[in-house]
Amino acid sequence: MAVSHRGAISFGMVHIPVGLYTATQDNDIHFNQLCKEDGSRVKYKKVCANCGKEVQASDIIKGFEYEPGKYVTMTDDDFEKAKTEKDKTIHILHFTDLHAIRPVYYDKTYHTIPEQGGDKAYELLRRAMMEEGKIAIAKTVMGTREKLLALIPTEDGILVETLFFADEVKEAPKEISHPEVSEVELTMAKTLVDAMVQEFQPQAYKDEYQARLWEIINQKIQGKEITVPQESGQVTVIDIMEALKQSLANVGSAS
């Protein structure tokens, strides 16, 4: 697996050389766009707006439009000059509790692997955070963007989560109302919650839609008629208490 980012975790005066490796992957089925008339691939070309010539990736540079039609160009060296020594490290700002971060701030997950000479300091940081029940908030520059990070200790190592900055997180489009609920309804809802409690086991969950999609694709490849499994229709219950009672009955019969 290729390293996504190399640097060092800066922990006070301690520097821990690490590499960041992506912790997730895209397993979605990807489709090409085809011309409806003859089924040929639809291709996209990068074309110069001035001369109309197709431009190769090696001939493209970055530019910032400071006035309409006027650009200042930036090279890789220019981006590197903007970085300080602190930007080149994963600089821990402070420690906090995991529950202090709202889920909406999480972006992407990386495995953090200590590099040569960093094993002991890495383990010291991991153990200290685990035993104190804390995570670290840090910053670094990855590519051409500064990233806010959360370093989360696990039994095996340290995960790095890139976080959105506050100005990147949108507020809810409308305020959510909080109507009154009766104690009876709340007690029944809590009972249903308790009845459905199970340990989270990641391997138990499969992408069932992708499996059905593969089945349809294979049927079409083989020229077969597509068959759709029939499911029992969901009954809509208007009365909340009746819905809770039926849900509890279903949970009880399934256990």
32 DSSP assignment? -
Residue-level pLDDT at 43:
87
**Rounded CA separation 225/185 (Å):** 48
Cα-to-chain-centroid distance, residue 113: 19
pLDDT tens-digit series, residues 197-225: 999 998 998 888 888 888 888 888 888 88
Pairing relationship of beta strands 135-142 and 90-96 according to DSSP bridges: antiparallel
pTM value surpassing 0.85: no
Residues of the chain with pLDDT under 50: none
Residue-level pLDDT at 194:
92
Cβ-based neighbours of 160, under 8 Å, separated by 6 or more: 20, 90, 109, 110, 111, 112, 149, 150, 151, 152
Exposure string for 3-30, b = 16+ CB within 10 A, e = fewer: ebbebbbbbeeebbbbbbeeeeeeeeee
pLDDT tens-digit series, residues 120-155: 999 999 999 999 999 999 999 888 889 999 999 999
3-state secondary structure of 173: coil
